């Protein structure tokens, strides 16, 4: 199993985010962010999933926000995953958006949305929720590669004075969201790059520069040299962590699931965010 031998232990990242115009009653709000589960019996173990859920519950968050890729290709494992995610404990609920892998097969979107909904998880698709009251909007975007990614439809419904957190699986979407106020965008999709060289960054970000120098016969044996891997995003500088994009702020979680060839200096992640 990839997860057992090539992923590493769960890492907890903590950050405080200052949000303009945030109501004093919402300062100190705790949010847990989880993403990129790829729950398919290969890329995420039940043990690590249980560990992430138990850790989240210990933190007693006000909200848990999920940003997609619950499965890899086959939607069937979503039933078991959703049953586990139903154990997440929050004061105001669990909210989710879908990722590109949740849309791979015909009917996957409906199957995954229904399974999560049946367990009390609110799935947002070009929708806005106010679980903590009208002083903070939670905006859920469709996956960036879907034909229905239309921020103008959703963002125009929110008054400019209202703080908002935007859930959008693919960090490349931050460029399209620049015309609107985004106090915090939460994304995943990149897995942090998985193989990271300290001081240099994700190896996959350098692939375009080196792939022409590698003999063709070797390329098919190295996942990072596959186009579908290195073109996962255009902006690999946004592979993980906190980034300022224009006037907006974005955080990219490294995710829980792991692809070959595994993780190096890039452990699976649970993020705890405190608003101020």
- Tens place of pLDDT for every residue, the chain, 276 residues? 566 667 789 999 999 999 999 999 999 999 999 999 999 989 999 999 999 999 999 999 999 999 999 999 999 999 999 999 999 999 999 999 999 999 999 999 999 999 999 999 999 999 999 999 999 999 999 999 999 999 998 999 999 999 999 999 999 999 999 999 999 999 999 999 888 889 888 877 776 565 555 566 555 555 555 555 556 767 878 889 999 999 999 999 999 999 888 899 999 999 999 999
pLDDT value at residue 218:
56
Residue 201 has what pLDDT? 83
State the DSSP string of 12-63.
EEEEEE--TT--GGGTT-EEEEE----TTTTSS-HHHHHHHHHHHHHH--SE
Token pair recorded at residue 101: 């892998």
Predicted pLDDT at 2: 66
Residue 195: predicted pLDDT: 85
* Residue of 112, 116, 205, 126 whose CA lies nearest to 173: 126
Predicted pLDDT at 221? 53
**Tokens representing residue 264 in the block:** 């190096």
d(CA 47, CA 45): 5
Topology given in CATH for the domain delimited by 2-202+241-275: Purple Acid Phosphatase; chain A, domain 2 (3.60.21)
* Model confidence pLDDT, tens digit, residues 41-62: 899 999 999 999 999 999 999 9
Would you state the pLDDT for residue 225? 54
The model's pLDDT over 141-170, given as tens digits with 9 standing for 90+, comes to 999 999 999 999 899 999 999 999 999 999
CA nearest to 276, candidates 185, 183, 178, 137: 183
Q: State residue 194's pLDDT score.
A: 87
17 φ, ψ (degrees, to nearest 5): -125, 120
Q: What is the pLDDT of residue 217?
A: 58
Domain boundaries, the chain: 2-202+241-275
């Amino acid at each position: 199993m990839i997860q057992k031998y090539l992923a590493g232990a769960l890492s907890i990242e903590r950050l405080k985010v200052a949000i303009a115009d945030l109501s004093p009653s919402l300062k100190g709000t705790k949010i847990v962010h989880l993403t990129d589960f790829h729950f398919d019996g290969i890329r995420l173990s039940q043990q690590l999933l249980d560990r992430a859920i138990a850790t989240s519950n210990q933190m007693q968050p006000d909200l848990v926000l999920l940003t997609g890729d619950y499965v890899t290709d086959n939607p069937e494992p979503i039933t078991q995953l959703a049953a586990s995610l139903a154990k997440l404990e929050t004061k105001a609920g669990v909210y989710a958006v879908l990722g590109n892998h949740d849309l791979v097969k015909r009917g996957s979107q409906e199957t995954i949305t229904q399974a999560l909904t049946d367990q009390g998880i609110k799935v947002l698709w070009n929708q806005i929720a106010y679980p903590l009251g009208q002083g903070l909007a939670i905006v859920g975007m469709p996956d960036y590669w879907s034909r229905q990614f239309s921020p103008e439809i959703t963002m125009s419904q929110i008054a400019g004075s209202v703080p908002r957190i935007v859930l959008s699986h693919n960090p490349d979407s931050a460029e399209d969201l620049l015309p609107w106020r985004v106090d915090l965008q939460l994304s995943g999709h990149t897995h942090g790059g998985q193989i990271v060289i300290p001081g240099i960054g994700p190896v996959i970000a350098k692939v375009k520069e080196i792939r022409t120098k590698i003999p063709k016969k070797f390329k098919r044996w190295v996942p990072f040299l596959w186009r579908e891997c290195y073109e996962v995003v255009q902006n690999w500088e946004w592979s993980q962590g906190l980034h300022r994009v224009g006037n907006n702020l974005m955080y990219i979680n490294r995710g829980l699931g792991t692809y070959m060839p595994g993780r190096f200096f890039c452990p699976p992640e649970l993020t705890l965010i405190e608003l101020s």
